[in-house]
Chain A
Amino acid sequence: MDASPQKSTLSNSPRILAARDTKIVASDVNVYYGEKHAIKHLSIDIPDRAVSAFIGPSGCGKSTFLRSINRMNDTIDGCRVTGDILVDGKNIYDRDLDVVQLRARVGMVFQKPNPFPKSIFENVAYGPRIHGIAKSKTDLEEIVVGSLKKASLFEEVKDRLDHPGTGLSGGQQQRLCIARAIAVNPEIILMDEPCSALDPIASARIEELIDEIRQNYCIIIVTHSMQQAARVSQLTAFFHLGDLVEFGDTDDMFTTPQDKRTQDYITGRFG
């Protein structure tokens, strides 16, 4: 019954993985919060240009693992990570790796929309500015407009780019955060329950947006909604109590789960 944590998921590699490049390779990752062992011997390969969904009951470690991929866990006191996480073959926990550069490559969208208390323009322009991406003012404007368009927010805000980002509705704020993440040209976008604070209509727009941009990014989304995972992702990983129980093509996962715990969870028997 106990799925051996050491067992690599690579043995029953999902079909999608075979068809695409692998972007992230994690092997034997452990995360500790002080004494608490939050992620246990996790190994997973995540493909590029696809949406991978992490599902599982609260406290199962899916957000923790997500935050390990751009080392946001570094900011938490007492958090310790062992094992290797390779992005494009480069271990992000190497001593010589620059965390700031990593986070520019691995963008993040948070659970609660958190625009800066600045104008819409400044929100998107901040990232390019600190990374020196824009060569000139017109360059910067192009990047901002392009990012807002990619986040399908531009049409709604084009007349009020100088208005505060905090004045937008929740769904618009979240799309603004996505635009902000896109603006620094990341390769990977991590989304930590991006729709949990939004109403169904705003959620649907975010899902549409994810679907539109997935061709260009490696997207990982943590979600509590299995319907959302089913709608938006190509791959799904099920976490339980710090273990990666199952990882596979979303269609397979929701129709023929391999593990009993997965089946119990997606049929609503616990969680």
Chain B
Amino acid sequence: MTDTFDKGNAAFIAKRYSSERRFRAYGAAALAISVLFLVYLIADIGIRAWPSFFEHRAVLEVNLDASKIPAGNVQTGDFEGVVRTAFRGGFPGITARSDLKSLTSLLSAGAADDLRQQTVANPASIGTTVKAGVLLADDADLYLKGMLTDTVKTPGKTNLQLAQSGDEFILTGDLSQLAAGQIVRANGGALRIASIEAGLARAEAVMPPVTLNTLAPGTWDILSFSHAEADRRIDDRQVVWLESLRDKGAIEKHFAWRFFTNGDSREPELAGLRGAIAGSLLTLIVTLSLSVPLGIAAAVYLEEFAPKNKWTEIIEVNINNLAAVPSIIFGLLGLAVFINFMGLPRSAPLVGGLVLALLVLPTIIIASRAAMKAVPPSIKEAALGVGASHQQAVFHHVLPLAVPGILTGTILGVARALGETAPLLMIGMVAFIVDVPKGFTEAATVLPVQIFLWSDLPEVAFQSRTAAAIIVLLGILFCLNAVAIYMRKRFERRW
């Protein structure tokens, strides 16, 4: 009898244990999947963003020609001209107008900016020749980062005879290393292999060779590409020029500080986040200075002082509903009230901040109320018991103990505001704005809107910039969350 009882019991217990194990396994699996997604997301964005934090510069000997740069007014000097001259000077063989244009297009539109600043700071250098790093254009930069094509350099190991017939060049000898589409660099020029037939290779000049000498092993090399010329944004001539610069050691890679110090630009290599960061900061200042005092005051009143009746109940329900209203609705509200009715300027951080303040207000109220509710009533009773007024009990005891929770809620609300795009689109913060905003009423944009704008642009280089901007935004959000956690730990008291 006891035996059968035990057996039945054992089966029951085993079932209970297996159910528990199953539940834990589900939990672990769910966690693993979400971690996997998160890691994939971060890694993907990170890998895309990484190249954007670096830029390539060509190091040139620039003659700061005093006739082009007036000593009295350095700022207006023709630095573009002297940089262009210096850059072209490295390629004396190029004279055709279209070639020169193609060569110059390797330089960024802002190539001379750094040199201009240096010279303004040091006017004594006018008239001398200085070594200057000039910024390359986005496509040249992408090529050097290996993002347009994979270039493989193979040294030539055989003897090749070179002959010219009209525009065409013929290579004969041991052709085992060659393939169509490759570029052979030899005798001061570069030849693109057009076709390989029995015993000879036909090639056309990318840069005409200076001589027709026999190509001895070690004197020539081959460039082969993963993408044919038609499939990449940089042509063979430009590749040859860049490679020759690289071989000369005239290409330098630097950390792209201008990504953080420049405003927006149509040129990817010049586009930076400073305008967006300043816009976000100004917007958040407005948001915080409005929503925190209002939110906490409303929460204190509703939680501690408001009479519990129909009206406060309606208000409570509606605050909870407000927290769930799609953010774009707040944008419409801002457009109607702040811009059309009150006549505040469009695209301004002031209006953006007002709209975002409305957006995070419910979040802050709900978080603050929850934090105050979590303070044990015995503390309030103790204060009332020694004769504190209701207000004293709340402000001396309940509120200070609720501060960690209120801070956490506020920072999470701010993090939400920082990442909001939709309502800002409605109030015109979506414009292309080059200048860094200096006041609350100047036109500005914010980080997430900047990301939205860049993601829409056709230039390949902007894809990477977009990812980099996302990384910056995520970094700021992580920092905010870290601050929230730190503050919670710092102010947390036990009772």
Contact = CB atoms under 8 A, between A and B. Distances in A.
Interface stretch (A15-23, A43-51, A101-109, A149-157): A101-109
A164 B494 CA distance: 10
Given A116-B397, A126-B396, A110 B378 contact: yes
B386 interface: yes
Given A77-B308, A110-B378, A112-B378, A103 B494 contact: no
Given A117-B494, A166-B494, A166-B495, A101 B382 contact: no
B387 A127 contact: yes
B382 A110 contact: yes
Given A77-B308, A116-B397, A130-B392, A103 B384 contact: yes
B387 A100 contact: yes
Interface in B369-383: 376, 378-383
A177 interface: yes
B309 to A, nearest CB: 11
A130 B388 contact: yes
Interface residues of B, number: 21
A131 interface: yes
A210 B389 CA distance: 27
A114 interface: yes
B494 A72 contact: no
B90 interface: no
B312 to A, nearest CB: 12
| Max chain B Cβ within 10 angstroms of own Cβ: one of A116, A180, A181 | A116
A103 B382 contact: no
B385 interface: yes
B357 to A, nearest CB: 32
A181 B386 contact: yes
| Max chain A Cβ within 10 angstroms of own Cβ: one of B378, B382, B387, B401 | B387
A115 interface: yes
A116 B385 CA distance: 12
Contacts, number: 71
B7 interface: no
Interface in A46-102: 70, 72, 75, 77, 100-102
B257 to A, nearest CB: 47
Interface string B474-495: 0000000000000000000111
Contacts of B381: 72, 75, 108, 110, 114
Contact of B386 (A112, A164, A180): A180
A220 interface: no
Contacts of B397: 116
16 contacts: A72-B381, A103-B384, A107-B385, A108-B385, A109-B385, A110-B378, A116-B383, A117-B495, A126-B396, A127-B387, A127-B388, A130-B392, A131-B387, A180-B386, A181-B386, A184-B386
Interface of B: 308, 376, 378-389, 392, 396-397, 401, 493-495
Given A103-B384, A177-B382, 7 more contacts: A75-B384, A101-B387, A103-B385, A109-B385, A110-B382, A112-B378, A130-B388
